[in-house]
A and B are shown apart, each in its own frame.
Chain A
Amino acid sequence: MDLLVQGIVTGVLIGGLYALMSLGISLSWGALKIINLAHFSFILLSAYLVYQLTVTFEVDPLLMTLVVVPAFFVVGVLTQMFFHWAKVDEFKSLIITFGIFIILQSLTQTIWSADFRRISSDLNVYGSGSIIIGGIALPTPVLLAFIVALAIAVVMSFVLGRTYFGKAVRAVAQDPEMARAYGVDTRRVAVILSGLSGAFSAMAGVFIAIGQAIFPGLAVSWFGVVFSVVILGGLGNTVGALTAGVIVGVAAGAAAVTWGPLAAPLVTFVILIAALLFRPEGLLTSRSVA
C-alpha cells in the first residue's frame, strides 16, 4: 500500500517535470502554429550544459539556471526570427525542426559521447536528497520541478488571461492577420513567446540534469510522454499541461510499480490514444489559448 501511495506521489511530482518539458512545444504549437521538435534538443542541451558547467566550475547546479534559462530564451527568440525570415508554415516547420533536432542530437553525441553522464553527488546535493513527510519521500529534483512547473502554470495562465501581452498572444493564435490589422505587433509577440518556450525547456533541462543520468538517446524517449501531455492538456494551455502531466506521471508511475519501469512508455501511449479518441481538443479546452 505504502508503495502505491509513494508511486502516486512520485508520479504527481514527475508530472510537474513532464509539464515543464511540454510547455515549450505546447505554447509554440498552440499560438505560433509551429511544431518545434527542436525543443527536445533544447531540453537535452540545457541538461548537458548544466552538467558541463557544474562539473567544470564546481558550483551548485541550480545556479546554472541563471545561465541556461536566459541562453535558451535567446535561442528561442533566434529560432522564431529564423522561422519568420524563412516564412515557415506548419508542414515545413516539422521538416526543418526535425532536421535541427537531428543536427543537435548528433552534436550532443559528438561532444559528450553516448555514455551516461551524471553530476557527482558531492556537487549535486539535490540529486539523491528527498524530503520525507509522513513516511512518503518527496525526491528533491522532481519536487523542485513540480513547484517551478506549478508557478509557471499559474503565472502564465494569469499572463495569458489577464494582460495585454496575453490578449495579443491569443489574438495571434486565433488569427494573425486580424491581430496585425488591429495593431498587434505579431512578430514581437511571436518572438517573445518563442523565447519563453525556450526558457521553459531550459528549465526542464536543469531538473533533468540534477535528477538523473543523461545520455543523448534520452531526447527520443521523451517523444511519447511530451505529445501525450501536449495533446491531453490542450494546445497552449499551461494549466492543462500541468494537469495532463500529473495524469501521465501518475499513470506511468503506477505502471512502473506494477509491471516494471519498461511498461511506462506503453501506458503513456495508451493515454495518448485514449486522448485522441475521446478528448482530442484537450481536457480543459475552454481556457485554451488557441
Chain B
Amino acid sequence: MTSRARVLTGFVAFGVALFFVPAITETFDLPRFYVIFLFTVFFWIAQASSWNVLTGFSGYFSFGQGAWYGIGVYTVAVLTGKHGWSFISALPVAGLLALIGGLALGFVVFRVRRLTGEIFALTTLAVAFVLASVARITSAIDGGTGVFMTGTPIPEFLGDFNTAMYRMTLVVMLLTVLAAYLTHDSRLGWGLFSIRDDEPVAGGLGVPVFRYKMTALGINAFFAGLMGGVWSLQLGFVTIEDVFNIRVPLFVILMSVLGGLSHWMGPVVGAVIIYTFSDRLNSAGLTDVNQIIIGSLLVILALAVREGIYPRMRERWVTTLVTFGGVIAVVNIFNLTESLITDFAFAMLATVLVLMIPDRLWTRIRGGNDGDDGRPTKERVGPLAEVET
C-alpha cells in the first residue's frame, strides 16, 4: 500500500468508527455530554487544521481565523434566521462567502512587495474587528441586536439536535483534515513549504507564489467559514461579541503551535489536547483564569517547543503510548476521577510534559540513544537533519 492509500484508508476507518459514537452512547446510556464534547473537539480540529494550511505550510501568520469563521456564522444565521432559507442551502454559501472574503484580502495584501508577511498578519488582526463594525451598523446583518437561530429546522435525517450537530461537524472536520492532508502531500504543499522557507528563491525557481498563497488562504477561509456555518446552530443566538472576538484566533494558534505547524496532523493533536484542557478548566470553575492560563501557555510553548508535539510523538511513540496508557490505567485502577474526559486530560498532560523534555536531556536519560528507532542521536543533530523529510 502506498502511503497515501494507507492514510486515506485510515481516514475512512476513523470516520466510520466515529460516526457510530452517538449510537453507542445511547445504547450504553452514557452521558450525552460526551457527544457534545466530541463535536466541539471536531469544531476546533477543523478550525485549527484549516488555519494551519495557510500559516503552518506557507508561513504567513494569520489572525484572521475569527473573521472567516464569523462570516460563516453570520451567513447561515442571516439567511436562515431572516430570509427563511433552509439550513442545507445556506451552508455552502457560508463557505463561499468566507472564501471570497479571504481571497479579496489576499488579493490586496499578497501583492505588497515589502514586509508582506508582517503586513498580512496585522491586516488579518484588524479584519475581524472591521467585519464586526460592519455587522453592527448594517441592520440587514445584525444591527447590534443579534440574530436568533432557534427557529431554524435541522434536516430530519440527521437525527436529534446533538446527533445532527455531531454528524455535521464530523463530516466538515474530516473534509478539512483531508484537505489539509492532500495539500500537504502534493505539489501545492511542497510549493507552500518552499514559500515558507524562502519566498524569493521559491518564486525564482518557478513556484507560482501568488497563486499558491491564494489557494492556501482560500482553503483556510472556506473551511473555517463552512464550520462556522455549522456552528451557528450550536450558538443559537448569534451576537457580534460572541462571534468576532479574539477567542477563535487565539485557540487555533495555540493548538497548532502545540501540535506542530509543519505537519497536517499537528493541529489535530493540538486541538484535541487544548480543548480537553480548556473544557476541564471550565468545568472546574476556573473560567476567569482560563484565558490567562491559555495566554501563558502560548508564550511558553512558543519559546519551548520549536517543532511542536506531533513530530516528537512520532519519534518517541513508545514513550507516548506508555505514558498515555499508563496514566489512564493508574487513574482508572485507583478510581481517581469522575469523568472519562478528566482521565484523558490527565493522561494528555502527562504525555505532553514527557514529550516536552528537551532532546539533549532526553538522550541523557535514554543513555545516548533515542531508543525508539534505534538510530544514534548524533546523526540527527547534524546539518543533514534538516534535509531529512
Instruction: Give the residues in chain A near B119, CB-CB below 8 Å.
Output: 231, 276, 280
Instruction: Check A115 for interface membership: any CB of B closer than 8 A.
Output: no
Which residues of the other chain, A, contact B292 by a CB distance below 8 angstroms? 102-103, 106-107, 110
Task: Report which of A86, A227, A231, A259 forms a contact with B303, defined as CB distance below 8 A.
Answer: A86
Known: A110-B288, A224-B130, A269-B130. A96 touches B302 (CB 8 A): yes
Query: When the two chains form their complex, are residues A35 and B121 in contact, meaning their CB atoms are under 8 A apart?
Result: yes
Contacts of A91 in B (CB 8 A): 59, 61, 117
Give A91 to B115 CA distance when docked, in angstroms.
12
Q: A29-B118, A100-B299, A263-B137 given as contacts; is B129 within 8 A of A223 (CB)?
A: yes
Bound Cα distance A101, B115 (Å): 22
Interface secondary structure of B, over-half rule: helix
* Chain A CB within 8 A of B294 CB: yes
Known contacts: A227-B126, A260-B137, A266-B130. The answer to whether A96 contacts B108 by CB under 8 A is no
Nearest-CB distance from B252 to chain A (Å)?
Answer: 12
B114 touches A95 (CB 8 A): no
Is A265 a contact partner of B130 (Cβ separation < 8 A)? yes
Residue A129 is within 8 A (CB to CB) of chain B in the complex: no
Contact A265 B298, beta carbon cutoff 8 Å:
no
Whether the pair A94, B61 counts as a contact (CB closer than 8 A) is yes
How far, in Å, is A85 (CB) from chain B's closest CB? 10
B129 pairs with A99, CB closer than 8 A: no
Count A interface residues, CB 8 Å.
Answer: 43
CA gap between A168 and B125 in the complex, in Å: 32
Question: Which of B125, B133, B299 lies in contact with A262, CB distance below 8 A?
Answer: B133
Partner of A106, one of B63, B130, B291, B302: B291
Residues of A within 8 A of B207 (CB): none
**Min distance, Cβ B57 to any Cβ of chain A, angstroms:** 14
Contact status B295-A272, CB under 8 Å: no
A215 in the interface (beta carbon within 8 A) = no
Neighbouring A residues of B299 by C-beta, 8 Å: 95-96, 99-100, 103
Report if B71 contacts A (CB, 8 A).
no
Residues from chain B with Cβ under 8 Å of A276 in the complex: 108-109, 112, 119, 123
B214 located at the interface, meaning its Cβ lies under 8 Å from any Cβ of chain A in the complex: no
Per-residue contact bits, chain B 273-288, to A (CB 8 Å; 1 contact, 0 not) = 0000000000000001
Q: Give every chain B residue within 8 A of A273 (Cβ-Cβ).
A: 108
Q: Does A220 touch B at the CB level, under 8 Å?
A: yes
B105-155 contacts to A (CB < 8 Å): 108-109, 111-115, 117-119, 121-123, 125-127, 129-130, 133-134, 136-137
Decide if A281 is an interface residue (CB 8 Å cutoff). Answer: yes
Quick one: which of B108, B109, B130, B296 contacts A103, CB cutoff 8 A?
B296
Q: Are A277 and B108 in contact (CB under 8 A)?
A: yes
Q: Are B137 and A280 interface neighbours, CB within 8 A? A: no
CB-based contact A265/B295 at 8 Å: no
Does A90 sit at the interface, judged by CB under 8 A? Answer: yes
CB of B108 within 8 A of CB of A95, answer no
Within 8 Å of chain A (Cβ to Cβ): is B209? no
Which residues of B have CB within 8 Å of A224? 126, 129-130
Chain A residue nearest to B63 in the complex (CB):
A98
Residue of B111, B125, B136 contacting most chain A CB atoms (<10 Å): B125
Residue A221 at the chain B interface, CB threshold 8 Å = yes
A180 is an interface residue with CB less than 8 A from chain B: no
Tally A-B pairs: CB < 8 A.
Answer: 117
* Bound-complex Cα distance A98 to B253 (A): 10
- A188 close to B (CB within 8 Å): no
Q: Let me know if A92 is at the binding interface, CB within 8 A.
A: yes
Report if B250 contacts A (CB, 8 A).
yes
Interface status of B257 (Cβ within 8 A of chain A): yes
Partner of B136, one of A35, A96, A262, A269: A262
Q: In the assembled complex, which residues on chain A have CB atoms less than 8 Å from the CB atom of B303?
A: 86, 92, 96
Q: In this complex, which of B122, B246, B291 has the most chain A Cβ atoms within 10 angstroms of its Cβ? A: B122
Known: A102-B291, A281-B114. A265 touches B296 (CB 8 A): no
Chain A residues in 8 Å Cβ range of B59: 91
> Separation in Å of the B66 CB from the closest CB of chain A?
11
Determine the chain A residues whose CB is within 8 A of the CB of B136 once the complex forms.
262
Give bound CA distance, A262 to B134, whole Å: 8
A162 to chain B, nearest CB (A): 26
Measured CB to CB, the nearest residue on chain B to A262 is B137
A98 touches B123 (CB 8 A): no
Would A220 and B108 be within 8 Å (CB), given that A103-B296, A110-B288 are in contact? no
Residue of A nearest to B241 (CB): A217
Considering only CB atoms, which chain B residue lies closest to A230 in the complex? B122
Given A272-B126, A281-B114, are A265 and B133 also a contact pair (CB < 8 Å)? Answer: yes
Contacts of A94 in B (CB 8 A): 61, 118, 121
Q: What's the least CB distance linking B298 to chain A, in Å?
A: 4
Q: How far is the CA of A276 from the CA of B107 in the complex (A)?
A: 11
Binary contact track A30-41/B, C-beta < 8 Å → 1, others 0: 000001010000
A29 to B118, CA, bound (A): 9
Q: Which of B126, B257, B296 contacts A223 (CB 8 A)?
A: B126
In whole Å, how far is A13's beta carbon from the nearest beta carbon of chain B? 22
Residues of B within 8 A of A (CB): 59, 61, 63, 108-109, 111-115, 117-119, 121-123, 125-127, 129-130, 133-134, 136-137, 245-246, 250, 253, 257, 288-289, 291-292, 294-299, 302-303
- Residues of A that sit less than 8 Å from B by CB: 29, 35, 37, 86, 90-92, 94-96, 98-103, 105-107, 110, 220-221, 223-224, 227-228, 230-231, 235, 259-260, 262-263, 265-266, 268-269, 272-273, 276-277, 280-281
In the assembled complex, 24 residue pairs joining A and B whose CB atoms fall closer than 8 Å, in A order, are: A37-B125, A90-B118, A91-B117, A94-B118, A95-B298, A96-B298, A96-B299, A96-B303, A98-B63, A99-B295, A99-B296, A102-B294, A103-B296, A220-B245, A221-B129, A227-B126, A263-B133, A266-B130, A266-B133, A268-B130, A272-B123, A277-B108, A280-B112, A280-B119
| Minimum-distance CB pairs A-B, first 10 | A102-B295, A99-B298, A103-B295, A99-B299, A106-B291, A224-B126, A265-B133, A269-B130, A95-B302, A280-B112
